[in-house]
């Protein structure tokens, strides 16, 4: 058996295209969604990520507001900026790029964001709304994972799902999203007993533990859908001394020989995160104005 490759890059491009069409439709009503991204410090990876977010925001027709602050910015100054963005009617979504400098309490900053503009889905109110099933803005990476799963398995009701990882950013919201699809969900982690056996029961396996190639091929149920959230840099001697390569949390070649469908790393979940950020900004813009939210998750 050879698994179908779930092309997250292609799905994300299609999603951005549908978002751009919806944004163009809103323009006729005098509405232009706006996304504000705040970066504190000079972390190179964060700088690249923020630049990509700004470029893709503009490409979909939205307004992009970048706030690049020095690493010396105080927590009080950052909270003041968040407060101004909360009050700015042209801003529909606010994203504070993590990690923040150590002298800033990240949780306090995230909780200061207006939940209606929390397009990262990290505010406790949005997390609580997801848990109770009453709607709200959903964390982008798990939302992207769900869209990729449904691209190959539209009906998830009754399937066994295992989420490997229990973080607030991916694992916990991923479990809630799968529960909402009527899956039977197990959340596994580093202290789970007989982890390979737990994973072998999964029709859907989402790996988000941050450990390179931890999930082996013999952990996979034949025909399962495997979503690999991991992004890990490991040595790549074949490319030369000191060179690295990016691998996921799943041993891809081994798993692909058993699974029914699998996301690659890179090119799987990663591209979906920014696309879902733009999706959430579109949703926030519509909800704030009492407008219907366009259906953009899947091609018609």
Q: Which of 97, 117, 172, 203 is catalytic?
A: 97
Q: How far is CA 208 from CA 222, 267, 298, in A?
A: 20, 16, 24
Tell me 32's DSSP state.
-
Q: Residue 216: phi, psi to the nearest 5?
A: -95, 170
Residues near 134 by beta carbon (within 8 Å), at least 6 away in sequence: none
Q: Which of 92, 114, 118, 120 is catalytic?
A: 120
Three-class secondary structure of residue 96 per DSSP: strand
Give the integer Cα–Cα distance in Å for 183 and 177.
Answer: 9
| Closest by CA position to 151, among listed 5, 3, 2, 1 | 5
Q: Are strands 184-188 and 34-40 parallel, antiparallel or unpaired?
A: unpaired
Does 53 qualify as catalytic in the annotation?
yes
Q: Which of 53, 117, 172, 221 is catalytic?
A: 53
Does 47 qualify as catalytic in the annotation?
no
Does 102 qualify as catalytic in the annotation?
no
E strands, 168-224, are: 184-188, 204-207
Give the integer Cα–Cα distance in Å for 220 and 152.
Answer: 17
Catalytic residue numbers?
Answer: 53, 97, 120
């Amino acid at each position: 058996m050879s698994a179908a490759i779930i092309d997250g890059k292609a799905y994300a491009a299609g999603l951005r295209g549908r978002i751009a069409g919806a944004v163009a439709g809103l323009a006729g009503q005098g509405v232009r969604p706006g996304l504000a991204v705040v970066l504190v410090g000079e972390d190179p990876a964060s700088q690249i990520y923020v630049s990509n977010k700004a470029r893709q925001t503009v490409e979909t027709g939205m307004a992009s507001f970048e706030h690049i602050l020095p690493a010396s910015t105080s927590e009080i100054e950052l909270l003041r900026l968040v407060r101004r963005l909360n009050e700015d009617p042209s801003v529909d979504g606010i994203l504070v790029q993590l990690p923040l400098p150590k002298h800033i309490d990240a949780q306090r900053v995230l909780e200061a964001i207006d939940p209606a503009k929390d397009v990262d889905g990290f505010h406790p109110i949005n997390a609580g709304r997801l848990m109770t099933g009453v709607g709200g803005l959903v964390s982008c990476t798990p939302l992207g994972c769900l869209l990729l799963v449904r691209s190959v398995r539209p009906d998830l009701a009754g399937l066994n799902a295992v989420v490997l990882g229990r973080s607030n950013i991916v694992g916990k919201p991923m479990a809630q999203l799968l529960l909402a699809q009527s899956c039977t969900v197990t959340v596994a982690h580093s202290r789970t007993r007989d982890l390979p056996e737990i994973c072998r029961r999964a029709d859907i396996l989402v790996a988000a533990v941050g450990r390179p190639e931890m999930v082996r091929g013999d952990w996979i149920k034949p025909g399962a859908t495997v979503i690999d959230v991991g992004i890990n840099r490991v040595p790549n001697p074949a490319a030369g001394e000191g060179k690295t390569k990016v691998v996921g949390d799943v041993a891809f070649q081994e798993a692909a020989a058993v699974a029914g469908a699998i996301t690659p790393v890179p090119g799987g979940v990663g591209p979906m995160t920014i696309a879902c950020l733009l999706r959430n900004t579109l949703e926030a813009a519509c909800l704030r104005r009492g407008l219907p939210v366009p259906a953009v998750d899947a091609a018609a």
